[in-house]
Structure 1
Amino acid sequence: MMSASFLAVLLSSVPADAIGHGGTYGNAKGTELSASAHHSRIEVTQVSGPTNGDRGTVSATDVNWKPPPCWYEPVFSPAQLKNFAENDGDGDVGLRDGWYGSKLWTDHFKDGKDATTIFTTPSTVKGYKNYNLGKDGYFWRGVAPDLSTLDDTSLCSRLMFWVDAGKVPDVPDAPTPKTLAEYAYNKIKVPSTAIQVKPDTKSTVNLPTWVWLDKGRFQAVKVRAELPDTGLWAETTAKPVALHLAPGTSDAETYPASGDCTINDDGSIGTPYEKGDADKTPSCGITYLHATNGAPYRLKASITWQISWKGSDGSGGDLPDGTFATTQDMTVQEIQSVNR
């Protein structure tokens, strides 16, 4: 039987989700979820906002911002750990430590034997007696949804450790409401940016193309992220604030000049075109200065979503704005005269 310390050395440089047994390792069913430090127990549900139609995730406008790479969370109750250790025993005992074989687990968590690890400080971890059965609490472990982005081996690296019920450990990388809010950032689904344009078939050189979106389509979207058995939760809200138009060519003018069309109080953007508006300047739109020659222009419409959060402890704040963009073909014709 390999020792725990030797096996930790063997696995220390391999992502947790890359080591398997029977090709099913990391499956989010049954004990497999508990076995992998790649999977989080955070539950994200949508509280409000549209749920039908085409939707997608936003991209942060701050390209340097990323959600937290890892954190600790509860994995096993004493009874659950006993069942896992004695009936499976293949999985991650830490973010970078995998134990394969029930004896490794029973030695440490049942029989009280110390474990030697690489990345934890101290490197020798005191064992437990009989899985802490009879105590109220959970064994916690580091979780990293994408271990390949975690270059610092000291982060979230502690061997699975005990925390009394109702408490969050006072250790670096412990989860907070902000952790949950940031985790939920990429789980928000916002509606696609399906703009309406007039003319809707072909635009004409030097004549404005009106752009608008009907009221009510772009409503705030709120999601709630909860970490079971901790009492921690956060609600992250994405609120639409502007539409940005990129004509697909430098030979164009946008209205407004910045290309940023604000969202009206009723949730609409721009003003719908009505008969007789041909001589007017749209509040949101484009004038193309040259006709397309073969390939159409690719008009890009991006909604900016202002993202904020509030947490279970009364904390809250702003996260980087997000954008969600769609493109559509614009054919522009050139004619010698126009009869209105």
Structure 2
Amino acid sequence: MADVDGRNEAGRVLTMRLIRKGTATSIAAVGILFLAQNTAFAWGDDPGGEGSHTGGNSDSQGNVSASATHSQIRISYPKGGGGSGKTGDLSTIDPNWKPPACWYEPVFTPEGLKNFVKSSGGDGDVGIHQSWFGTGLWTDHYRDGKPEDNMDDAWTSAPGYKNYNQGKKGYFWRSVAPDASDPDSWQCGRIMFWQPAGQVPKIPHAPTPKMLAEYAYNKVKVPETKIELKPQTKSTVNLPTWVWLDKGTFKDVVVRAELPNTGLWAETTAKPVSLHLDPGTDDADTFPASGTCDFNQDGSIGTPYKAGDASQNPPCGINYLHATDGNPYQLKASITWKITWNGTGGAGGDLPDGTFQTTQDMNVQEIQTINR
């Protein structure tokens, strides 16, 4: 067995175990992997595919042929999803929160693993950052019972298996990372391991309903924040600009994530709760003073402008104090979405609120004859 150590652009050590049974290690294979910048993939798969909705390819028994950068988590939208208009991804208000960087999933039945080794020649992934080439290591470890090193911090030893565990009910599980260049993806260092049917492994980074909810958070698509303004084209100094959103414009979005062959699922719900206005200049007042307009009970925000309201302060709006001079103000409007989740076994809770922001030009004129 040959160990090849290299460094990626971030300076982290990348360790690959490469072997060709009865031949020298393929230098060409090493070059291909380094060009892939740490993302190992099983030959024949599309390494550029996102794979988030149905993951990689799988057969009727759930055996997976895709790489460790493809998840089998299935995403659906029971409610919302953005419709046919423009949509965008939520940004979390918590700068320290991020979706899971890596986890483990079931990928092969015993028969499926045996067939994979035979049909592929043994070129594929046993983990996010570890690929085996040629049948040698696959047969040594998964067929002939020889131990092999994990790639965890302690370099623990993984006991081998006899004849791919044929005759047993269960799956071989493998680590998955949507982005193998994420340093946190190295936390899932176990090579592919066995788990009996109907059991989720009790190890760090095993899938949970909350993990699926966090994964689904990253798949929430919300409508573009397009607000109604009056006046629409140009505001006037010291005359309020009314801002509102009609009812029904923003509705709850529900994203469901399911991990096949585990019984685990979660639904993440994004509920619009407020609109925040940033006038784009300090020379402006907002209504209310905080700049945050809450949703009304009917799902609307603010009150539509009507004739005779020009001199009134709106429940949601802006009063510019100085005119623009060729360069419009950049009005930022962002919707805050409250995020909750529920999942397998009655689990549930809150996740950090999300926001989606759009920016539009605001030209402001000054009319000297106006006297309030």
**What TM-score does the superposition give when structure 1 sets the normalisation length?**
0.91
Picking from 134, 138, 146, the partner of 2:179 is: 146
Picking from 134, 156, 160, the partner of 2:192 is: 160
1:217-271 Cα shifts (integer Å, max 9, x gaps): 1111111111110000011000000000000111100000000000011111110
Q: Distance in 2 between matches of 1:120 and 1:62?
A: 29
Specify the alignment match of 1:39 in structure 2.
70
Residues 294 and 33 of structure 1, relative CA distance in 2, 3 Å threshold:
farther
1:261-315 Cα shifts (integer Å, max 9, x gaps): 0001111111000111112110000010011101111100000000011111211
Specify the alignment match of 1:216 in structure 2.
248
SS in 2 for 1:37: coil
1:131-190 Cα shifts (integer Å, max 9, x gaps): 12222111001112123223474x221111111111101112111100000111110001
Give the partner amino acid of 1:93.
Answer: V
- The alignment-based identity, stated in percent, is 60
Alignment of 1:207-286 (within 5 A): 207-286=239-318
RMSD across aligned positions (CA): 2.4
Picking from 82, 99, 102, the partner of 2:135 is: 102
Deviation at 1:6?
2.3
Specify the alignment match of 2:350 in structure 1.
318
Deviation at 1:20?
7.4
SS in 2 for 1:34: coil
Deviation at 1:112?
2.3
In structure 1, stretches of 5+ residues that fail to align are none
Specify the alignment match of 1:194 in structure 2.
226
Matched residue count = 336
The reply on whether 1:6 has 2:38 as its aligned counterpart is no
Q: Mean alpha-carbon deviation: is it higher for 35-44 or for 184-193?
A: 35-44
Picking from 159, 166, 188, the partner of 1:126 is: 159
Say whether the 8 Å CA contact 1:303–1:325 is kept in structure 2: yes
SS in 1 for 2:368: coil
Picking from 105, 109, 112, the partner of 1:80 is: 112
Alignment of 1:321-332 (within 5 A): 321-332=353-364
Residues 253 and 229 of structure 1, relative CA distance in 2, 3 Å threshold:
same
Runs (4 or more) in structure 1 with deviation over 6 Å come to none
In structure 2, stretches of 5+ residues that fail to align are 6-13, 18-32
Q: Distance in 2 between matches of 1:175 and 1:169?
A: 8
1:69-97 Cα shifts (integer Å, max 9, x gaps): 11111111122211211111222112322
Say whether the 8 Å CA contact 1:17–1:26 is kept in structure 2: no
SS in 1 for 2:345: coil
Picking from 131, 135, 149, the partner of 2:168 is: 135
Residues 138 and 304 of structure 1, relative CA distance in 2, 3 Å threshold:
same
- 1 or 2 for the larger relative contact order (CA 8 Å, sep ≥6)? 1
Specify the alignment match of 2:39 in structure 1.
17
Say whether the 8 Å CA contact 1:26–1:36 is kept in structure 2: no
Give the partner amino acid of 2:129.
Answer: R
Q: Distance in 2 between matches of 1:151 and 1:339?
A: 61
Residues 299 and 67 of structure 1, relative CA distance in 2, 3 Å threshold:
same
Say whether the 8 Å CA contact 2:43–2:124 is kept in structure 1: no
Say whether the 8 Å CA contact 1:16–1:38 is kept in structure 2: no
Deviation at 1:117?
4.2
Specify the alignment match of 2:26 in structure 1.
none
**What TM-score does the superposition give when structure 2 sets the normalisation length?**
0.84
